[in-house]
A = this chain, B = another copy of it.
Amino acid sequence: MAEKQVKVGLVGFGTVGCGVAKLILEDVDSIAAKTGLRLELACVVDTDTKSPRPVKLPNGILTNDINRLLNDDTIQIGVELVGGTDAAKQVQLKMLEAGKDVVTANKALLAEYGSELYKAAHKNNRCIAFEGSCAGGIPIISAIRTGLAANNITAMYGIVNGTCNHILSEMTSKDEDFAEALTQAQDKGYAEADPTLDISGEDSAHKLAILASIAFGYEIKLDDIFVEGIEAISKGDIRYGGEMGYILKLLAIGQKDKDNRVSLRVHPSFIARDNPLARVDGPFNAISVFGSAVGQVMYYGRGAGMMPTASAVVADIIDVALGNSATTFRHLHLKPRNEIESLIEKIGNCISRFYIRVMCKDQAGVVARWSKILGDHQISISGALQHEGIGPDNTVPVVIITHPTQQKNITAALEELEKLDVLSGKPVCIRIVDIPEDKD
């Protein structure tokens, strides 16, 4: 069968850009054999054309002039790997207007301006493919959009930030402090010098916004997502939770109830030790998706890195060139804000079980006083843990697990607990996430 020549222009020649260039250049023959497509890297655009990179481009294709890409009508696909939101958005819009289909791995941009960009693509009769934007090498977007197309997706629980998962895994297995685990993650290259975007949970929220949009068909905004990071997690709480049968993970959670109300949140979560997600360690990502027909499915793999993300980007390039992406993208219609705004659940209404740790002063009647506050807020206790012995500051940690209760009850109770003179410091509160069991 005759091969089809496909010219690709790449904007952004950083880590992932290098991986994409490498795959296109080195695997051109095997991709042609598998797909009938002969990919050609027509130009690579970057403001920095001087720094050495780990991939050697053919002479003359590296340029700092994006017009070479935009004005070349033989280039069918533009790959945006600039990162960030402002410049990248302009690059995508220009490429769409110039008649290129767009492939991107830019999660921050899609989380913030996805709806706007999708509309621009529809208007120009082009498509945007973004498999690389969530969970790197794991083909989760195509799984949700095509593999599970016959399902009503009711929930997803994802470990979608490898930095946080690495840090929490190390804190758990080595009983390390957060600061210690972060420094080591930075030394190993698993965390950035400025790790804020990862450890604050914001990066996970970007991915959740994209995944929830396509899974639930809603125009999700970042503001719809409650976000809490892992900065305040102590190794003691990981250890106490472990004694009670839980493993701590930073989860991105999207749930849709039978009335189509959607709850979206990113926060540290204690999950049962025997849940498959509890066993996802180190820099790996995994996403459990619940579908009405399929039950629970889970996808596991590397969530970041040069070649895993490049693998997803090149898969998208192939899918776009075959015409499959256009078909799928044509039917990406997100319910607009005015229809869904009332369907986004406020965090205060979320029902959850909670892990609460207080530091009790060594006095008689302490338990009675703080447990009364819980009772006053209709919070019922399902488990407790207190080791014998008093700490150096004459306090003792007491952990309780609550029955399911609304977040707002807990918030109100915590405010009162914080003021209680028989407790020392702020109480610690971590949500326990009961991932449904798909067993019979």
Q: Hey, which bits of chain A sit against chain B, CB under 8 A?
A: 1, 19, 23, 27, 30-31, 33-36, 131, 136-139, 142-143, 146-152, 217, 276, 279-280, 282, 291, 293-302, 305, 307-308, 310-312, 314-315, 318-319, 322-324, 327-328, 330-331, 333, 438-439
Contact = CB atoms under 8 A, between A and B. Distances in A.
Given A150-B31, A299-B300, A327-B323, A291 B318 contact: no
A311 to B, nearest CB: 4
Nearest to A289: B301
Contact of A150 (B151, B314, B438): B314
Nearest to A438: B302
Contact of A331 (B36, B291, B297): B36
Contact of A315 (B147, B318, B438): B147
How many monomers of this chain does the complex have? 2
Contact of A302 (B23, B294, B307): B294
B293 A301 contact: no
Given A142-B146, A147-B312, A299-B300, 18 more contacts: A27-B150, A27-B152, A137-B291, A139-B148, A147-B315, A150-B310, A150-B311, A150-B314, A150-B318, A291-B311, A293-B308, A293-B314, A294-B301, A296-B301, A297-B300, A298-B298, A302-B438, A323-B327
Contacts of A314: 149-150, 293
24 contacts: A23-B150, A31-B149, A33-B217, A34-B149, A35-B331, A137-B294, A137-B295, A137-B297, A146-B318, A146-B319, A147-B312, A148-B311, A150-B315, A150-B318, A293-B307, A293-B310, A294-B301, A294-B307, A294-B312, A295-B307, A297-B302, A299-B299, A322-B327, A324-B327
